[in-house]
Amino acid sequence: MSVLSSRVRYAKYLDRLAKPHEVVKWFKHGDTVAWSGFTPVGSPKVVPEALADYVEQNNLQGKLQFDLFVGASSVEHIENRWAQLGMISRRTPYQSGKQIAGGINTGRIRFIDVHLSMWPLNMMYGFYTTPNNSNRLDVAVVEATAITDDGMIVPAGAVGGMPEMLMLADKVIIELNTAVRSFEGMHDILVPQLPPYSQPFFLTKVSDRIGMPYVSVDPAKVVAIVESKVADVTGPNTPEDAKSRAIAGHLVDFLEHEVSSGRIPKNLHPLQSGVGNICNAVIAGLANSKFEDLTVWTEVLQDSFLDFFDSGKLTHASSTSIKFSPKAFDQFYSRWDEYKDKITLRPQHISNHPELVRRLGLIAMNTPVEVDIYGHANSSNVLGSRIINGIGGSGDFLRNSKLSIIHTPSTRNDNKLSCIVPFVSHVDHTEHDLDVIVTEQGLADLRGLAPRERARLIIAKCAHPEYKPLLSEYLDIAESLALRTGAGHEPHSLRHAFKMYINYEDSGTMKLSSWH
């Protein structure tokens, strides 16, 4: 028996086996197309490539376009290829890749940036398909690692928005990936009822399970089963550096202080961590700390979480996706029996659900582009206009967690860019949502402080020494002007607030010679 036939246990699907190029007929210009996945993991690989081949071979650039919905980012080189070929008209809710970001920033691709917890439900409400007067998707292409006896889908290492996609799609194409092992048993799938019939999620700890180990689909919608033999396309994780390790040290010290003060328990609260080298360093720092019996409730698990498990400090992790480097995937698969019962993969509407984040009392830790002196954070748009990836899930966690922590280097680009500024050029997270700001310089605990107190503390603890005098002088100017006019609650001088950005655009550095 072949691997494919052993994984597809629903016999009727075997009559729908197709080659990648044979499913092109199911797509037409203007369709709303959904891909599974969350990060490159769990994304379809051979069908999107076949569509790109078809466009390229038939000179259909810009003539076969789709509104593309993916739970978060996907396989970067495939999505970049679609962008280069003019195949993406509209994209939501998050993306990565130079070509697609370039298409968005040059106006060729319309991008809808959305909190990742809200996106699946908004999709079910029909918010993104209102121009078509419909809440339907034309085609969903989803990756599976197995098909159950009754035709249900066992996803790979990511769930994302797959349950909602399968409910809304008129046609479903399943890529059965035989290059990766079956993930059967690792998922906890529950599709919410919509208001006014929605029900609470009966989940009070990270390891609770409330749903099914597969994603439901109407077998009548499934038009094709395509075998994929392409492993998940991931690269190495960004390595730690001196700055990220310093940030991790400040955070571990802070958490130890919170425990000694009685504000959090000895095993902390469930931890949420974003992606990148700072997050990896923080997880490594916790793995080497004195804390024990820890849990994680997050949206993406990176390499450092395997070391966290191996340290014996981490007991269970819940996520919507794993994103391991190739080397870490080898470790994960070779020691499957050690890890499989310690990880639960859920839909993103649950992994990022604001009420669950608040109920579990999460400690949320994420990296922005920049933070201003009052505690507003920009996670998505450089210099106010140029999109990088999107807000992602950071807002879901930071707005609703018990402890909202933002960590960033104090400067970037050889100190030419300060990550602490007078007023952020784009606001994703407001001052009301953030409790703690950390850089390699130090940590500012903002809880219980008024705006002017926060500003002094952020400058003193978090700003780079080369920018502290500049930021302090700005605050003095803003306070002087605002207090004279009776507007001193959160002082700003609009004549000066963005001058550091303007100087960077003109001179290549935020270091001003003078505010005047």
DSSP bridge partners of 175: 143, 226
Choose among 332, 278, 284, 330: nearest CA to 304. 284
Catalytic residue among 49, 227, 240, 299: 299
The rounded distance, in Å, linking the Cα atoms of 265 and 262 is 7
The rounded distance, in Å, linking the Cα atoms of 404 and 167 is 34
The rounded distance, in Å, linking the Cα atoms of 74 and 232 is 10
Element (H, E) at 331: helix 326-334
Choose among 2, 52, 94: nearest CA to 380. 94
386-387 and 381-382: which strand pairing?
antiparallel
The rounded distance, in Å, linking the Cα atoms of 373 and 437 is 10
Choose among 458, 431, 419: nearest CA to 376. 431
Please confirm, yes or no, whether 431 is among the known catalytic residues.
no
Counting Cα atoms < 13 Å in the Cβ hemisphere of 305 gives 31
The rounded distance, in Å, linking the Cα atoms of 498 and 481 is 16
Q: At what angle do helices 303-310 and 326-334 cross, to 10 degrees?
A: 40
The rounded distance, in Å, linking the Cα atoms of 469 and 181 is 56
The four Cα atoms 69, 73, 77, 82 give a dihedral, to 10 degrees, of 20
Overall residue count recorded for the chain in this entry: 516
Catalytic positions, please?
299
